[in-house]
């Protein structure tokens, strides 16, 4: 298993127990149904962002990382890829019927001073890139542990958005094309469209 898929597998193991916190039961939702053979399909992408350090102040959460956002879908498609952070914040743009109209639920986790993991359920009402090149999220606290002003070993697990596949490319935001892919193509079950294994991260 290469490094990128190992990271994704680990994240899926963390997210799975939190699935009840992120949205409603979509067991009857056929948006990822393989029986849909139309040229334009839809997929529900979930996201995670990690950072060694983060800050929270007056309802603003900043993860101090400029790395891409990891994206993945649930069964049966098992797609994986990434967004760069600027394209990811487009999902909150006012001209999009995505996170701007329906802000996503999220689970924020961090390591406390005694080494235990804490978590809080929040709603991400807005997101933008700050002058340091980090994403600043405006959020509403829902439940869980009190979010401190300084956080360490931080992970943010973000609810899904539906992306429509147009000519083989998922378009997740009106007015902007977002490509949650490996550089050389779609990474599905560890392989690109060409059949070659997904490349290792450098």
How far is 31 from 34, CA to CA, in rounded Å? 9
Q: What pLDDT, on the 0 to 100 scale, is given for residue 156?
A: 98
Q: What pLDDT, on the 0 to 100 scale, is given for residue 73?
A: 84
- pLDDT, one tens digit per residue, over 141-156 is 999 999 999 999 999 9
Q: Burial code of 43-72, b = ≥16 C-beta within 10 A, e = fewer?
A: bbbbbbbbbeebbbeeeebbbbbeeebbbb
The reply to whether omega before 159 is within 30° of 0 (cis) is no
Which ranges of the chain have pLDDT less than 70? Answer: 1-40, 95-97, 166-171, 173-202
Q: What pLDDT, on the 0 to 100 scale, is given for residue 183?
A: 46
Q: What pLDDT, on the 0 to 100 scale, is given for residue 188?
A: 53
How far is 157 from 14, CA to CA, in rounded Å? 9
How far is 20 from 91, CA to CA, in rounded Å? 23
Q: What pLDDT, on the 0 to 100 scale, is given for residue 3?
A: 43
Contact yes or no for 94/183 (Cβ under 8 A):
no
Cα-based angle 144, 147, 150 (whole degrees, multiple of 5):
150
Q: Model-level pTM greater than 0.75?
A: no
How far is 149 from 154, CA to CA, in rounded Å? 12
Q: What pLDDT, on the 0 to 100 scale, is given for residue 163?
A: 75
Contact yes or no for 54/151 (Cβ under 8 A):
yes
Q: What pLDDT, on the 0 to 100 scale, is given for residue 106?
A: 98
CB under 8 Å to 35, separation ≥6 — which residues? none
CB under 8 Å to 84, separation ≥6 — which residues? 68, 69
Q: What pLDDT, on the 0 to 100 scale, is given for residue 40?
A: 63
How far is 6 from 9, CA to CA, in rounded Å? 5
3-state secondary structure of 17: helix
């Amino acid at each position: 298993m290469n490094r990128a898929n190992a990271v994704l597998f680990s994240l899926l193991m963390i997210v799975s127990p939190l699935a009840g916190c992120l949205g409603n039961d979509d067991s009857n939702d056929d948006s990822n149904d393989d029986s849909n053979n139309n040229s334009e399909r839809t997929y529900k992408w979930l996201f995670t962002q990690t950072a060694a350090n983060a800050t929270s102040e007056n309802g603003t959460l900043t993860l101090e990382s400029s790395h891409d956002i990891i994206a993945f879908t649930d069964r049966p498609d098992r797609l994986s890829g990434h967004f760069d952070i600027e394209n990811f914040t487009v999902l909150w743009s006012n001209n999009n019927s995505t996170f701007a109209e329906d802000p996503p639920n999220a689970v924020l986790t961090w390591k406390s001073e005694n080494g235990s993991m804490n978590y809080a359920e929040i709603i991400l009402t807005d997101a933008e890139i700050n002058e340091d090149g980090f994403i600043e999220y405006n959020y509403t606290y829902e439940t869980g542990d009190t979010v401190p002003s300084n956080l360490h070993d931080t992970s943010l697990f973000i609810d899904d958005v539906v992306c429509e596949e147009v000519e083989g490319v998922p378009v997740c935001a009106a007015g902007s094309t977002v490509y949650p892919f490996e550089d050389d193509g779609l990474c599905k079950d560890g392989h690109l469209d060409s059949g070659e294994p997904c490349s290792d991260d450098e």
